[in-house]
Amino acid sequence: MKHLRLAILAVPLFIATAAAAQNQVATLRNNAPLAEEGEATQIPGIVNTDIRQVRNYPDQPPLIPHKTDNYQVDLNSNKCLTCHSRTAVEVSQAPMISVTHFMNREGQTLGAVSPRRYFCNQCHVVQTNARPLVENEFVDIDRVIDYVNAQQSGAD
């Protein structure tokens, strides 16, 4: 009987502890209670420096160093190609899409932009000045090579 009473007492205690733990969960809602609308976080600004960014590896689609607001890309028109296509660059002075953008999946170079590379924003993104949510520990390949070389010369 004593045991049963203890068990009954323990149930509400368990529920209270679970509810307290739930309030501690880290969220992106800036600690606004679930039933209330929190203050909206600011939309980060887009980096619009026109300075081409470093690529972290040779095959990386380069970041877009300019704004792309209202640049339409659909079946009928592609705003990006009005500056980046082979024929447009003389006027726009934008870098031309590279030869991989003309290749089909067999690696054959076509005369026009390959459908696989038509929707530019599938691979290319703008950079924002948002604060990273987690620390970025990415190490550039040049530093990895330096490290490996240093280890090897140390071993000799």
Task: Compute the residue count for the chain.
Answer: 156
Stretch that binds ligand HEC, among 8-16, 29-37, 94-102, 141-149 (CB under 6 A): 94-102
The CB-of-110 to ligand HEC minimum distance in angstroms stands at 13
Q: Tell me which residue of 60, 68, 40 sits closest to 127, measured CA to CA.
A: 68
Q: Tell me which residue of 127, 62, 69 sits closest to 98, measured CA to CA.
A: 62
Who's near 66: CB < 8 A, 6+ residues apart? 48, 50, 126
Contact status: 100 vs ligand HEC (CB under 6 A):
yes
Binding residue (CB under 6 A) for ligand HEC from 10, 104, 112, 119:
119
Give contact residues for ligand HEC (rule: CB under 6 A): 50, 52, 59, 61-62, 64-66, 68, 71, 78-84, 92-95, 97-98, 100-101, 113, 116-124
